[in-house]
Amino acid sequence: MVVIRLTNSYCVPVLTYACNIWQLSTTEYRSINVLWNNTFRRIFSCCWRESIAGLQYCSCLPMNYIIEQQTIMFYRRTLRTQNDILRMLLTLKRDHMLSLLEKYIA
């Protein structure tokens, strides 16, 4: 569990740096998830064919959920800011924000 906490503390911030402005395709999301899954396979010494879903969900979310969570939190913080320039930029990215939220609000 210590290795997983270290991975979450050091690797996740590096992997998700500036993810708030990314516009990822399905293929790119898949590549990031493969990287994240391989990290768990390496930690737990699993074969590449083995599913790590049980190991992963007990400790942290899949990488695409982490990226989307951070993006939503960024939009929420930006909406609450008093900075007019940031709020104007957010209105330009409103379509991306709404498409992201539609996946989770149903």
Question: Into how many domains does the chain fold?
Answer: 2
Is 7 contained in some domain?
Answer: yes
Same domain, 97 and 52: no
Domain identity same for 56 and 78: no
Residue 55 sits in the same domain as residue 38: yes
Say yes or no: 39 and 91 in one domain.
Answer: no
16 within some domain: no
Residue 83 lies in domain: 63-106
62-100 burial string, b = 16+ CB within 10 Å, else e? bbbebbbebbeebbeebeeeeeeeeeeebeebeeebeeb
Q: What is the pLDDT of residues 37-96, one digit of tens each?
A: 888 888 877 777 766 666 655 667 888 888 888 888 888 888 788 888 777 777 777 777
Do both 55 and 67 map to the same domain? no
